[in-house]
Amino acid sequence: MSNTGVSLESLDKDQIKTFSDFLLSYNKLSELCFSDCVNDFTARTVKPNEEKCALNCMEKYLKMNQRISQRFQEFQMLANENAMAMVQKAGASG
């Protein structure tokens, strides 16, 4: 018990948030890839092509996420620069 107490104490708010985000995206990914890849219920077991599809789906989604996050950051940086320029302009004229 004392062991779990120590490890729980060392978990800070950010770590818990990261873990919960991970679990949420895990669930979302399962739902998405299951609905896109598994449509045949004439057998009880997962077929090789279904497994391949689901794993490809996961990998592709992660790569897509990476790309979107890259672009998103670029846009945010641009927006920040514009905001800074606006502030400086207002400061110079006012």
Partner 1 sequence: MAQMNPADQGKMQMMQDLEIEMMSDLYNRMTQACHKKCVPPRYSEPDLGKGESVCIDRCVAKYLDIHERIGKKLTAMSMQDEALLKNMNG
Residue numbers at the binding site for partner 1 (CB under 8 A): 32-33, 36-37, 52-57, 59-61, 63-65, 67-69, 71-72, 75
Q: Least distance to partner 1 from the beta carbon of 9, Å?
A: 23
Cβ–Cβ < 8 Å for 56, 36: no
Sign of CA dihedral 44, 32, 24, 47: positive
Considering the complex, state which of residue 9 and residue 31 has its C-beta at the smaller distance from partner 1: 31
Sign of CA dihedral 60, 66, 70, 76: positive
Q: Least distance to partner 1 from the beta carbon of 68, Å?
A: 6
Considering the complex, state which of residue 9 and residue 40 has its C-beta at the smaller distance from partner 1: 40
Q: Report which of 21, 44, 24, 40 is spatially closest to residue 32, judged by C-alpha positions.
A: 24
Q: Least distance to partner 1 from the beta carbon of 71, Å?
A: 4
